[in-house]
Chain A
Amino acid sequence: MNNIISLICIAGSHMKFTMRRTMMIFILLIQPLFFVLLTWLIYRHTDSAGTGTRIFIASGLTTLWSGIVFSSLSDLERERSMGTLELIFASAHGLKGAVIPKTAGNLFLCVLPMTGLWAGIHYVLNRPVIIYDPWKTAISAMILLISLFSISLFLSCFFALSRNSRVIMNAFEFPFFLISGFVFPITVLPDWLRILSWLSPLTYPVHLLRSAMLGETVFLTWNGLFVISISLILLFMCLTFFAFNIIEKSTRISGVFTLS
């Protein structure tokens, strides 16, 4: 019980620190506004049905992913540059005990702008956000968040070890927007890019949500996407568990806490 309380405390204090960072304000306010404006301007003169929903999905998903990449992963980079990553590793909770609440806290922060996005698109732009299947949407959203959490934890293991994380981080944003169908379905892409889409673990939970919200069946039914998404969550959770254990063992044996 004490452990859970302390993890919640870590998440809480982490969220307070994060909200003081200007980059987080950019991710939570300016970037969603940009995607709303851009998708609205692009779609405003098209006859496409469910424009409001498409704008919401595009801006919401890009905010979530950017938030995860530039917060959870850059947090580790920051700890590294401040020289505190080793201290975290040696603390009572260990690396796992610090990364899990930080990632959960960041995810919680990134979900917050969704209400504002919905209200803005619905009332300011006057584009109703119509949800095709509310129950499936709620389930899909939960699965998407857990998927992002598990993928983020897995990536954290590598970012904790690599000195080049800040350089790589930027390459995690737009390429994944493209191949995972954050803004448009992957059927728009040419065949060679679609191969990358199938390999991306984000494609399935993202299309699960698209399918529930828009009622579109792109390349698999909602049930098929559901099964794959759950399997991917389990896979990434297992991989994360093993990766954390390997890091811990190798660091204790070698006495060095880095890949590069």
Chain B
Amino acid sequence: MSDFFRLSYYSWIELQGHIRPALLVITKILNPVFTMLFFIFMVKHARPEANMKFLVLGNALLINSFVAAFNTAVAFTHERQRGTLSLIIASPVSRIRIFLAKGFPFLVEAFLISVLALVLGALLTGTKLFSPSLMAGCLWLFMAGVFSSFCVGAAVSVLNLLVRDILIITNSLWFVMVIFSGVHVNPENLPIIMLKLKPFIPMSHAIEGLRLITSSGPGIPWGELFLHVGLELLMGVGYLAVGFISFSLIEKIAIKAGRLDLSS
């Protein structure tokens, strides 16, 4: 287990450790909070009647949990750029363990940033969120959302074996999540085809859970909330499974082709 955490630690240090504390504040706090405020005021401008509680909670989760997906995927892009991805794949250590260990610090980071952004977002927009039951509900949904985001990142990271630059894929994925999640666009305003795809988009269930608890009055419908938490976790596990299956297939193809890096 200590190997797992050591690998996680090195993974985080490799990607973020060289950044100075002042720059960490800019990139990990100011930028996410401003991005969140941008989307909140964008929706408020179009729909002044929009529920501010839901906007703050939804954006805090949606914007910041993506850190887990993005950094998990990018951690392997760095390995690829430095020519060490093939060594990781060829090592006798379980690949699943390596993938999870490298992504784990970003899961923790995404959760912490989401919570911090939520607190700052609420304070800066003057939104009163701090009721114990609401916060308890949010905690469950945030954990499920961040986990799901991490799983998508792990699945996308497999594509590092197939394409040279996955940044275009990860950034496009973020756009898809922003549009489909239902934070900025009411689900009833989505075209029918998008509405049908929505349940399969990461975060959509966690966001629906947030919509539920911010519009259900003083009491939290825990049963429905845990249904959304369960669906989000299930979707995360589904994405993780897709990632591992496609990784196994790619590995088999790589063995046949005689090289691990299939795009070269």
Contact = CB atoms under 8 A, between A and B. Distances in A.
Do A and B form a real pair? yes
Contact of A41 (B31, B44, B175, B190): B190
A175 B30 contact: yes
Interface residues of A, number: 34
B19 interface: yes
A21 B114 CA distance: 32
Interface stretch (A7-15, A96-104, A185-193, A240-248): A185-193
A22 B168 contact: yes
A174 B35 contact: yes
Interface string B39-64: 00111111100000000000000000
A164 B23 contact: yes
A188 B41 contact: yes
B185 A167 contact: no
Interface in B147-172: 164-165, 167-168, 171-172
Interface stretch (A42-50, A87-95, A107-115, A223-231): A42-50
Given A38-B184, A42-B185, A164-B19, A184 B167 contact: no
A25 interface: yes
Nearest to A179: B34
B37 A193 contact: yes
A184 B41 contact: yes
A130 interface: no
A192 B41 CA distance: 14
B125 interface: yes
Interface residues of B, number: 34
Contact of A171 (B31, B43, B125, B167): B31
A56 B23 CA distance: 33
Contacts of B175: 30-31, 34
B27 A167 contact: yes
A167 B27 CA distance: 7
A168 interface: yes
Interface string A234-257: 000000000000000000000000
Interface string A19-40: 0001101100011001001100
B49 to A, nearest CB: 11
B37 A178 contact: yes
Nearest to A187: B45
B38 A174 contact: yes
B168 A174 contact: no
A37 B179 contact: yes
A21 to B, nearest CB: 8
Contacts of B172: 26, 30
Contacts of B34: 174-175, 178-179
A73 to B, nearest CB: 15
Contacts of A192: 124
A183 interface: yes
Nearest to A43: B46
Given A190-B126, A193-B37, 7 more contacts: A22-B164, A30-B168, A41-B189, A167-B19, A174-B35, A178-B34, A183-B42
Interface of B: 19-20, 23, 26-27, 30-31, 34-35, 37-38, 41-47, 124-126, 164-165, 167-168, 171-172, 175, 178-179, 184-185, 189-190
